Amino acid sequence: MTRSHAPYVLLLPGMVLIGTFLILPIGYGFWLSLHEFNGIVIGHWTGLSLYRRVITDAGFHEALWHTVVFAAIVVVGKNVFGLALAVLVSLPLRGVRAFRTVLFLPVTLNIIVIGAFWTYFLSASRFGGLLNQALSAVGLQGLEHSWLGTPGTALLCVSCVEIWRWGGLHMLIFLAGMQAIDPSLYAAAKLDGANAWQRFWHVTLPQLRPIIFVSTLIALMGAFVRSFDVVWVLTRAGFGTQVVVTYLYSEAFKFGHFAQATATGYILLVIIAIFAFTYYFLSNSGQQHD
């Protein structure tokens, strides 16, 4: 083995693993989406007919719209909430390390525990419904609501739970970025007479631009791909909360349309790629103009 071949030999095990567990399954799954498939037996060739069926399905359109709304709320919410928490825990307060741990705890909780708590908290039942009970206690009975059982509020509540669940992770991402900022920038801004808000707006945010990019990309991918568990445990994808991943699940395991569900997965992959690359190029063009 020559010296020039050594890097390729060292990369070979990793490339074999990627090919075996990523590229081959993606290719095989796409091949399945071009055939009739009942989960066991591969049927005749259908070409792109299953893709046309999904794209023209009104249920898919509704699920895609809910996914886009959910993603918009979650992406903005995770970034704003995570950054606010990062600013809070960066203050020189007593017990701030313990406070960081408490804020990160929701990330470590099992989704079933999260679902049980928030279902109990947002329930309209007289045996739960802590939010409704609190509203009633302060004389706001008119605001009592079936928060997870009404199409107008169910998706918003699910989005808020998702933001609460992952806010601690984005807090750590922003906190790491803030700790990497050169303190001399704050000192110079302070000498120029900038107050705390001006230092945050003109020093912290510009320095956090790469961190905001990463945080937004993580939140965007999560909103499209990892939304199944929180939606399912809270609403079973009912009351106007059907998203693309729950639509895919229902097509496969509720109706037995495995091939159509596979086609849905690849359509979702294309949609995610479009969003991700569009966001990437817009971010890069913005930085080049600066």
Indicate the pTM of the whole model: 0.89
Residue 119: name the closest of 228, 233, 226 by CA.
233
Domains along the chain with CATH numbers: 54-289 (1.10.3720.10)
The whole-number pLDDT of residue 40 equals 80
The whole-number pLDDT of residue 36 equals 87
**Burial 162-186, CB ≥16 within 10 A → b, else e:** bbebbbbbbbbbbbebbeeeeeeeb
The whole-number pLDDT of residue 288 equals 57
Q: Tens-of-pLDDT digits for all 290 residues of the chain? A: 566 777 788 888 889 999 898 889 889 889 988 988 887 888 889 889 999 999 999 999 999 999 999 999 999 999 999 999 999 998 888 888 888 889 999 999 999 999 999 998 888 766 568 888 888 888 887 788 888 988 889 999 999 999 999 999 999 999 999 999 998 998 999 988 889 889 999 999 999 999 999 999 999 989 998 889 999 999 999 999 999 999 999 999 888 888 899 999 999 999 998 988 888 888 776 565 55
The whole-number pLDDT of residue 129 equals 82
Question: Residue 163: CA atoms inside 13 Å, Cβ hemisphere, count?
Answer: 23
The whole-number pLDDT of residue 99 equals 87
Asked whether the beta carbons of 131 and 122 are under 8 A apart, the reply is yes
Angle at 214 between CA 223 and CA 80, to 5 degrees: 65
Q: Whole-angstrom Cα distance, residue 156 to residue 145? A: 13
The whole-number pLDDT of residue 212 equals 93
